[in-house]
Amino acid sequence: MSSQPTKTLETFPNPAADRDFHIHMQIPEFTCLCPKTGQPDFATLILDYIPDQLCVELKSLKLYMWSYRNEGAFHEAVTNRILDDLVAATRPRFMRLTAKFYVRGGVFTNVVAEHRQMGWQPAPRVDLSGFDSESNTRG
């Protein structure tokens, strides 16, 4: 694989496609350029997804993110484009991309974009708070 930025996202087969499980990634070094000023914009991207048949390969994700370093993009546009590209590559059951852009001119910008596979519903949340593991009883 190349060590140059690329828009190619590679995938691998989901090792547990028979169950929903959550993949959480933090990408703290995302950069792109402001399309108005050409100045760099910095963000932490948070990717949460429940894969279906495919998972995104991490090195290709890193090179994909790197490919935005010299591109001008509004925060809203780049967040949605990244989500669209990840959804096209992996076809997940659920995916959320949160982009937390650092302050610029006294304004922090957070952009959250989501995708849900048609018909997919999450399982009910299991709340284990208050469970006493020592006595196996609820506290």
- The yes-or-no answer on residue 34 being catalytic is yes
- The yes-or-no answer on residue 41 being catalytic is yes
Token output for 10: 């590679």
- Answer left, alpha or beta for residue 133, where phi above 0 means left and psi between -120 and 50 means alpha: alpha
Measure the CA–CA gap between 103 and 84, rounded to whole angstroms.
25
Catalytic choice (20, 32, 34, 127): 34
Catalytic choice (18, 20, 32, 41): 41
Buried (b) or exposed (e) across 75-85, using 16+ Cβ within 10 A? beebbeebbee
Token output for 31: 């950069």
Strands 54-56 and 11-13: antiparallel
| CA-to-CA separations, 128 to 3, 101, 131, in angstroms, rounded | 43, 33, 6
Measure the CA–CA gap between 71 and 4, rounded to whole angstroms.
15
Which residues form the catalytic set? 34, 41
